[in-house]
Amino acid sequence: MSIEFREADRLFHLKTPASSYFIELIRDKYPAHGGWFGSLRERKGSREILRRDRSFSPNPTAEDRSFSLDSLPLEYSAWGRTDLRSPALQAVGPDGSMSLDLEYREHRILAGKPALTGLPSVYVEDDTEADTLVLTLEDPLTGLLCDLVYTVFTRRDVITRTVKIRNGGGERIVLQRVMSLCLDLEHSDFTLMQLSGAHNRERHIHTRALYPGMQSVESRRGTSSHQQHPFLALLEGDAGEDHGTVLGFSFVYSGNFLAAVDVDQFDSPRVLMGINPFDFSWTLGPGEEFQAPEAVMVRSGEGLGALSRTFHDLYRSRLCRGYHRDRERPVLINNWEATYFDFDSETILNLADEASRLGIELFVLDDGWFGERDNDLTSLGDWFPHAGKLPGGIRPLAEGVISRGMSFGIWVEPEMVSEKSRLYEAHPDWCLRVEGRHPSTGRSQLVLDYSREDVRDHMVETLCGILGGNPISYVKWDMNRHLTDVGSRLLPAERQRETSHRYVLGLYDVLERVTAAFPEVLFESCSGGGGRFDPGMLYYMPQTWTSDNTDAISRLAIQAGTALVYPPLTMGAHVSAVPNHQTGRTVSLKTRGAVAMGGNFGYELNLLELSREEKGEIKEQVELFKRRRHLIVKGSYYRLLEPWKRTDRYAWMTVSPDKREALVLFVSVHTESNHPYLSLRCKGLDWDRHYSINGKGAYGGDELMEAGIRLPYPLLEAEAHEYHLLALD
């Protein structure tokens, strides 16, 4: 078993292949964090939990001033009984008070990993992959029960955590804060790493030293958002890419979140991760329960590189699901930047003719194919073909594309409705809105109330009708605004703060039903690009449009930040026209192609406007990617430069599982005259093998990893260099 309980010491030992996590029952009542270390055979108490009288740390009982929950490293903290740090749990009891005292009641150790009802989570395919500890705590006064659930993977350095709250009393309890993870650490000698940005500038890597007080990233936008990301990493001491201890925390959720580190008066950090409490409450009647989303914890003793590869392997194979999980993804072209709203069937088929000649495998029809959608002011919700653009409907166009040797896909935005639409005219009450206020809009659209069963049923029926009635093999699911006026007409006043979470649960319900009905359709999620690139969405859709910004140079930072947590297989990455529509920058087709091959490859440009030479280069790119995309599916990802330290050069490589093949990419963003001679040291190769580089020479794996590959001189701005390594023995 990967979980042991030593009865004599009241000590739980949670063991992954390279880490040990300890939980100690203090006074047989309070689960305390006993440390998260590299792999230990056992813990005999060389670093015991100390207790002493700490000034202004109150005591549960007057007879022992050395004991306070305020200075105890708790596994889960409730507000009100001497712990004055940021709590994991807050609730209003039947008497109106917010005081809770969670005491250990019992525990269970289970084989495998239970699924979470109504929520995405990582999974196992057989019970030998993981063991699960359920620690049940109880507040004796209110009858509130709290199940702390830890799943420990036997062959991965991963521990997942979640919490289930149950009302075991006879009166209602109102939850106001439920964190999925609470972890108290001993010292604050850490650098915090986060992924932050904006629309068209998602998931840039930022670092800062921990300091006293609260430091956090959070979303209040109804989604995980472009602006912040549900992930934190803590780098201990001088830890870096390939050395040192790094702790990573990722939240499997797609709505408002809080990821925080609170450094207390004793310089001890508390890590918290969960649903953002700023606009949350949940009423539990007697016998009712609340299931919190899942948080994933990874510990690496070999730096950020190993941490990223652990997350990649887990999310690629035990979060993503279904038919496309382990399959190579098609090279696609999307018509959006080629035509925007201005197209008809003839235009699309002309583009498809050219795409087919260049070897592209999937044609995606983007926004504008439905209702009276000639701009972004109208028709969301009216999911029937635009009579002027597609007079014969979707099927003839799709069949025309398929007859040209490609598959066919469409864009949808099923969570939204336009005020100028038949759906809104028929059901104005189906939107999120606050009674008495005219609803605010974003992109001239409103948000459908997915907390309502009737809204969800309508959308499932509509989408299944489209997919069932037409030969569609790919769906791009978009969401182009965040949530405001968050209210539901079907909820009473005292439960309105449940709306945001109920919206996310409703979204998951729709996604589960639609994707289960069409398991061979490839779904890609999108929210104005990467505004909802999170583990929750990947559970239903195995890839995400990484950013609406298709500029190759901008994409370097965006894709590097994304790859801190997510495998390249989950990233949509396309070549677009120049000057780029988002930045106005002009970059060579070679560099645009090289950067886009860092994910699921495709194009967003008008092929009919390209020169013969450009079309020839695109055809070569497509053929090249097809030969190498197996590395995206199964390869291990290595950063060769640290993008949080410098942004003038980017370099990474992907290595096949058997280490016989690798692809190295280097991009020089900015350069100076008379710059130093540079080389790239490879990683992840077989030390004893010999490799050719772009079909030439025979170089030892040891040489390539120690001496490296010499880069050309001089390096030019926005210039990409690719090195394909192939084992010769």
Could you tell me the pLDDT band of residue 479, with boundaries at 50, 70 and 90?
very high
- Tell me how far apart the alpha carbons of residues 536 and 219 are, in angstroms, rounded to a whole number: 15
What is the reported pLDDT for 104? Answer: 97
Average pLDDT over residues 445-452: 98
Burial class (CB in 10 A: 0-12, 13-18, 19+), 44: exposed
State which fold the 72-318 domain adopts. Beta-galactosidase; Chain A, domain 5 (2.70.98)
Amino acid at 17: P
pLDDT digits over 350-400, tens only?
999 999 999 999 999 999 999 999 999 999 999 999 999 999 999 999 999
Give the mean model confidence (pLDDT) for residues 43-71.
74
Q: Is the pLDDT of residue 726 over 70?
A: yes
How confident is the model at residue 65, as a pLDDT?
82
Q: Find the helix or strand (DSSP H, E) in which 205 lies.
A: strand 201-209
DSSP run (H or E) holding 591: helix 589-596
* Whole-number pLDDT of residue 340: 97
Mean pLDDT value across the chain: 96
Percent of the chain at pLDDT > 90 equals 92
Give the span between the Cα atoms of 288 and 284, in whole angstroms. 5
- Specify the DSSP class assigned to residue 169: S
Active centre residues (catalytic): 478, 548
Report yes or no: 29 and 104 within 8 Å, Cβ to Cβ.
yes
pLDDT for res 579? 96
- Residue by residue, DSSP assigns 71-118 as GS-BSS-BTTSS--S--SEEEE-TTS------EEEEEEEEES-PPPTT
pLDDT, one tens digit per residue, over 104-159 is 999 999 999 999 999 999 999 999 999 999 999 999 999 999 999 999 999 999 99
Please give the DSSP secondary-structure letter assigned to residue 710.
E
Query: Is the separation of the CB atoms in 445 and 421 below 8 Å?
Result: no
Segment (H or E) for 231: strand 231-236
**567-585: average pLDDT:** 96
59-93 CB burial, b ≥16 within 10 A, e <16: beeeeeeebbbbbbbbbbbbbbbbbbbbbbbbbbb
The answer to whether domain 332-634 and domain 649-727 are alike in fold is no
Reported as a pLDDT band with limits 50, 70 and 90, residue 54 is confident
Cα–Cα distance for residue pair 526/548, rounded to 1 Å: 9
Domain 649-727 is in which class?
mainly beta
Residues near 468 by beta carbon (within 8 Å), at least 6 away in sequence: 517, 518
55: confidence class by pLDDT, cuts 50, 70, 90: confident
- 313: enclosing H helix or E strand: helix 303-318
Supply 107's token pair: 């525990």
| Chain CA centroid to CA 270, Å | 22
pLDDT score at 45: 74
Compute the chain's Rg from CA coordinates: 27
pLDDT of residue 71: 82
Q: Which CATH class is domain 332-634?
A: alpha beta
Planar angle of CA 466, 332, 224, nearest 5 degrees = 70
Residue 643: predicted pLDDT: 93
C-beta of residue 662 within 8 angstroms of C-beta of residue 685:
yes
Residue 35: is its pLDDT beyond 80? yes
Cβ neighbors of 704 (< 8 A, separation 6 or more) are 681, 682, 685, 691, 725
Can you give the pLDDT at residue 210? 97
Paired residues of 333 in beta bridges: 363, 603
- The set of residues, in sequence order, having a beta carbon less than 8 Å from that of 8 and lying 6+ positions away, is none
> Could you tell me whether strands 543-545 and 522-525 are parallel, antiparallel, or unpaired per DSSP bridges?
parallel
**Mean pLDDT confidence for 455-463:** 98
Quick check: 40 and 170 in contact, CB under 8 A? no
Question: Is pLDDT of 62 > 70?
Answer: no
Lookup: tokens for 166: 């149950």
State the amino acid at position 162 in one-letter form. Answer: T
Nearest to 411 by CA among 539, 527, 516: 527
Q: For residue 326, what are its two tokens? A: 């382990």
End-to-end CA distance of the chain: give it in Å, rounded: 40
Cα 48 to Cα 35: distance, rounded to the nearest angstrom: 10
Q: In this predicted structure, what is the pLDDT of residue 58?
A: 72
Cβ proximity of 632 and 625 under 8 Å: no
The separation between CA 44 and the C-alpha centre of its own chain, rounded to angstroms, equals: 38
Mean pLDDT to the nearest integer, 168-186? 96
The phi-psi region of residue 244 (left if phi > 0; otherwise alpha if psi is between -120 and 50; otherwise beta) is left
What does DSSP say about strands 474-477 and 446-447: parallel, antiparallel, or unpaired?
Answer: unpaired
Q: Where are the domains of the chain?
A: 72-318, 332-634, 649-727
Rounded distance, CA 523 to CA 391, Å?
26
Q: How far is CA 673 from CA 104, 167, 670, 677, 717, in A?
A: 66, 69, 11, 11, 11
